[in-house]
Amino acid sequence: MHLRTSHLLLAGAAAAALALTGCGKEGTPAAAGGASDACAGSGVTFTPAKPDVSGSPTFDKISGAGAVKVGVKADQPNLGYKDTSGKRCGFDIEMAQLVAAGLGVDPAKIQYTEIPSANRESALQGGQIDYYVGTYSITDERKQKVSFAGPYFVAGQDLLVREDESAITGKDTLKGKKVCSATGSTPIQKVRDEGLTEPSNIVEFKTYSECVSQLLDKKVDAVTTDDAILKGFAARSPEQLKVVGKPFSEEKYGIGLPKGDTAFTKAVSDVLQKSFDDGTWQKVYDGTLGKSGSPATPPKLDS
Ligand code: GLU
């Protein structure tokens, strides 16, 4: 009893500290539920390679600058996250570092830009970033505007609900329920295309963490996106939230690349394949997303 009380007091103090300091940095919200948000990595170090790449304007730009601009997410625990001290961590962040090193750039020289789901194509098309790593599903529609290397992971669309929810048990139980997802994402598209709930019950925000806050505040009934993302949020608020656990799509995560730079796409694909083959991918996965997700092995790259 005494232990439990002091634990709760500590948690409350941590939440208060987060509330005071957590919201100031580039609009990144504090961890939903007030769990400790300190970043930890897999411990893998990424040593810059000396790749031989010719005919790639993007590669020439990166190697000339000795730096790379990478688009990421910052509010997705164990995937793309920035803690209140400003440290970044997660599977996608380490994949971004692995790719940088494979292209010969010191990961410390990565310039991160936080780009929400809806703005990924335009950021790549406008040259604001050299590549994007952030739960970015490879789709034919997106391939009209950008290129992809991957997949480097396969997720599935699922549902996050409050712990005491009993009516929402799968995608066909959403009618009449308020469902939240991110603008410009494949999951919100699926909710619309399949009419999983009424248009007036679809709530959208730029980021999933905003949806999770709405769920905790009982303003929406479910958050839908990839299980990999939802499991990270559920792990932070295990007493309040749960993942339904019946995935209903296949989301193949790719590294988003400028369209048409085929030599660059090949170079990034080669970096991924090498990490699959030499065990690096596995170490990174197990030390990041594997902590809130399920065991996984490297997927097969698209040809
Ligand atoms: N993987 C999905 C997508 O690319 C959902 C996650 C996200 O929005 O990043 O749209």
The amino acid occupying position 286 is D
Q: What is the pLDDT of residues 47-94, one digit of tens each?
A: 999 999 999 999 999 999 999 999 999 999 999 999 999 999 999 999
Residue 29, pLDDT > 80, answer no
Q: What pLDDT sits at residue 303?
A: 84
Ramachandran assignment for 13, one of left (phi > 0), alpha (psi -120 to 50 degrees), beta (any other): alpha
Same fold flag, 3-155+252-292 and 157-244: yes
List of residues 6+ apart from 89 with CB closer than 8 A: 39, 40, 41, 81, 83, 288
User: How many alpha carbons lie under 13 Å from residue 183 in its C-beta half-sphere?
Assistant: 10
Q: How far is the CA of 152 from the centre of ligand 1 (A)?
A: 14
Q: How far is the CA of 207 from the centre of ligand 1 (A)?
A: 10
Q: How far is the CA of 101 from the centre of ligand 1 (A)?
A: 25
Residue 291, pLDDT > 50, answer yes
Q: What span, in angstroms and rounded, lies between the C-alpha atoms of 225 and 210?
A: 13
Q: Which of 7-21, 112-126, 283-297 has the highest mean pLDDT?
A: 112-126
The amino acid occupying position 94 is E
Share of the chain above pLDDT 70, in %: 88
Q: Which CATH class is domain 3-155+252-292?
A: alpha beta
Q: What pLDDT sits at residue 292?
A: 85
Using the atom order of ligand 1, give the atom closest to the CA of residue 251.
1
Q: How far is the CA of 208 from the centre of ligand 1 (A)?
A: 10
Partners of 180 in beta bridges: 203, 223
The structural domains of the chain, with segments of one domain joined by +, span: 3-155+252-292, 157-244
Q: What is the pLDDT of residues 125-176, one digit of tens each?
A: 999 999 999 999 999 999 999 999 999 999 999 999 999 999 999 999 999 9
Q: Which two tokens stand for residue 235?
A: 């792990």
Q: Buried b vs exposed e over 138-158: b needs ≥16 C-beta within 10 Å?
A: beeebeeebbbbbbbbbbebb
Q: What pLDDT sits at residue 36?
A: 66
Q: What is the pLDDT of residues 187-237, one digit of tens each?
A: 999 999 999 999 999 999 999 999 999 999 999 999 999 999 999 999 999
Using the atom order of ligand 1, give the atom closest to the CA of residue 136.
4
**135 CB within 6 A, ligand 1:** yes
3-class secondary structure, 132? strand
**213 CB within 6 A, ligand 1:** no
Using the atom order of ligand 1, give the atom closest to the CA of residue 117.
8
Using the atom order of ligand 1, give the atom closest to the CA of residue 139.
4
Q: How far is the CA of 91 from the centre of ligand 1 (A)?
A: 15
Q: How far is the CA of 57 from the centre of ligand 1 (A)?
A: 27
- Is the separation of the CB atoms in 264 and 66 below 8 Å? no
Q: Buried b vs exposed e over 161-181: b needs ≥16 C-beta within 10 Å?
A: bbeebeebeebebbeebbbbb
**The domain 157-244 is classified under which CATH number: 3.40.190.10, 3.40.50.11540, 3.90.950.10, 3.40.50.300?**
3.40.190.10
- Is the separation of the CB atoms in 47 and 102 below 8 Å? no
Average pLDDT over residues 31-46: 77
Q: What pLDDT sits at residue 293?
A: 79
Q: Which two tokens stand for residue 160?
A: 């996050």
Q: How far is the CA of 6 from the centre of ligand 1 (A)?
A: 39
Q: Which of 8-12, 23-27, 139-143, 290-294 has the highest mean pLDDT?
A: 139-143
**261 CB within 6 A, ligand 1:** no
Q: What pLDDT sits at residue 219?
A: 98
Using the atom order of ligand 1, give the atom closest to the CA of residue 137.
4
